[in-house]
Amino acid sequence: MKRVLLLGGTGDALAIARNLPAPHVYSLAGLGRVPADLACSVRIGGFGGIDGLVGYVREEEIALVVDATHPYAAQMSRHAHEACAIARVPLWAVRRPAWQPQPGDDWREAADWRGIVERIAAFRRPLFTLGREPLAHLDEIPASQYWTVRCLEAHPGNERANVIDARGPFDLAGERALFDAAGVDVVVSKNSGGRATEAKLAVARERGLPVVMLARPELPEAGRNFDDAASARDALERWLDPT
């Protein structure tokens, strides 16, 4: 039996995992929710770097690795690429296309946290929607700013920051209400792609607000690439049962 290791942590990965029977494996870093209703095996936690992943692939007799991690989970993607080359196992990747600016958008790219801080310096009420990273900088908030940080972590915030622990999808009405309540004057985002979290971009557009977009990291080439879960699922079905 050809055994698949699916590297997950995204909605696309979960959609693929829902179609995978045992003994295939769905792997999660262990930061978010762990689905309890999958037919395939679920493993949690890192592999221990490239060597650990090579060992896992060999011991578990994995015949194909599918990297469906988030486009900003670059370390895991690099490790998968290296490990598959060493273990001589094919690697596929599911990578959501990046959002593209539309007429009326005012996007300003930042390469890293420092670039983000520079680009929001002139604003007062940034909304951060790029995960946990702002939490490490709550003590550095300038007196002129009040931050709203939406991420998947319960955190008390401080007198200069409100942390909202919320998981997408987010719709237009909800995003408009958040922008109103928080007085948002600039949005800080990853370019995650996909539908679940794009409403904030539409609200920024309709209000003429800038979006500081953290640049996507460089990701290694995979043997096959898929834009979405459905095409990856179809290819997997054919690969598992070519008859």
| Total count of residues recorded for the chain | 243
Name the one range near ligand NAP by CB under 6 A: 22-30, 117-125, 169-177, 202-210.
22-30
By CB under 6 A, name the one of 27, 148, 191, 197 that touches ligand NAP.
27
Name the one range near ligand NAP by CB under 6 A: 25-33, 154-162, 193-201, 227-235.
25-33
* Nearer to ligand NAP among residue 132 and residue 176 (C-beta): 132
Amino acid at 197: T
Task: Provide the mask over 120-149, with x wherever binding to ligand NAP is found by CB under 6 A and - wherever it is not.
Answer: -----------x------------------
Structure tokens at 161: 């920051």
* Nearer to ligand NAP among residue 124 and residue 225 (C-beta): 225
Interface residues for ligand NAP in 167-226 (CB under 6 A)? 190
Q: What's the CA angle centered on 193, arms 125 and 187, to 5 degrees? A: 5
Structure tokens at 36: 């309890």
Interface residues for ligand NAP in 57-116 (CB under 6 A)? 69-70, 72-76, 79
By CB under 6 A, name the one of 22, 23, 34, 49 that touches ligand NAP.
49
Instruction: Compute, in degrees rounded to 10, the torsion defined by CA atoms 22, 30, 44, 214.
Output: 70
Q: How far apart are CA 190 and CA 161, in angstroms?
A: 20
Residue 104 CB, shortest distance to ligand NAP, in Å, is 26
Alpha helices (H) in 27-165, listed in sequence order:
49-59, 74-87, 113-120
Nearest one of 225, 236, 226, 224 to 20, comparing CA atoms: 236
CB atoms within 10 A of CB 33: 9
Position 8 contacts ligand NAP (CB under 6 A) = yes
Structure tokens at 22: 């045992």
By CB under 6 A, name the one of 4, 7, 40, 229 that touches ligand NAP.
7
* Nearer to ligand NAP among residue 148 and residue 197 (C-beta): 197
Alpha helices (H) in the chain, listed in sequence order:
11-17, 49-59, 74-87, 113-120, 172-182, 199-207, 229-240
Query: Which residues are near ligand NAP by CB under 6 A?
Result: 7-10, 27-29, 31, 46-49, 52-53, 69-70, 72-76, 79, 131, 190
